[in-house]
Amino acid sequence: MFELISYEKFRDTKDVRFFDISVNESNYRDLVIHSGPAVSPPNDEEFKNWQFYIHHNQEDNLLAISGGRTFFLVNFGWDYPFYKVRLESCGYILRIPRGTFHRSVSDQNGSIVLNQAIRDKEGTVESEFKVTNSKDNKKLLDCITNLEPRFKIYSVK
Ligand SMILES: [Fe+2]
């Protein structure tokens, strides 16, 4: 199951926010900047089907640094397979386990997300960033077509 991880807030005032956001096991850091309402991975150009990433050798630990971003998660190993999780700036870290289809949509004004990934020895950029088009995976397509995602909002004020 995905997890929401809190972290230490040393100072959190109107003018100054100062946090320790370390995910100690992380060995890769990705910074993903959406300057508008971007979709990642983008929908397929021809039919606009949803596309997803899935990592078999990587766990993602995602923190919205600014803006908001909504993630759609599908994992057939969970009791309920389809979730929608909204991350808001400086809220929880979303931990996405290996083997989870995921895509994200930024708010109208975009978002900046830091991923403190944990990548196994077997994982490479090529192996972990293949895109799955839902039209090519019947189980995935049936899931997102027939089920409503359960929705969770996670933010820290
Ligand atoms: Fe990912």
d(CA 83, CA 150): 5
Residue range 91-147, pLDDT digits in tens = 899 999 999 999 999 999 999 999 999 999 999 989 999 999 999 999 999 999 999
Q: What are phi and psi of 104, to 5 degrees?
A: -140, 155
Whether 157 has a pLDDT exceeding 60, the answer reads no
pLDDT tens per residue across span 45-102: 999 999 999 999 999 999 999 999 999 999 999 999 999 999 999 889 999 999 999 9
Measured in Å, residue 12 CA sits from the centre of ligand 1 at: 28
* Residue the block writes with tokens 């972290």: 7
H or E, element range at 139: helix 138-146
How many angstroms does the Cα of residue 65 sit away from the middle of ligand 1? 16
> Which tokens in the block code for residue 18?
């100062």
Tell me the CA–centroid distance for residue 117 and ligand 1, in Å: 8
Confirm if 87 and 62 have CB atoms less than 8 A apart.
yes
Q: What's the 88 CA to ligand 1 centre distance in angstroms? A: 17
Report the relative pairing of strands 39-40 and 101-119 from DSSP bridges: antiparallel
Q: What pLDDT, in 10s, does the model give residues 3-37? A: 999 998 888 888 898 999 999 999 999 999 999 99
Q: Write out the two tokens for 104.
A: 């994200």
The architecture (CATH level 2) of 3-154 comes to Sandwich (2.60)
What residue segments make up the domains of the chain, in order of their start?
A: 3-154
- pLDDT attached to residue 156: 52
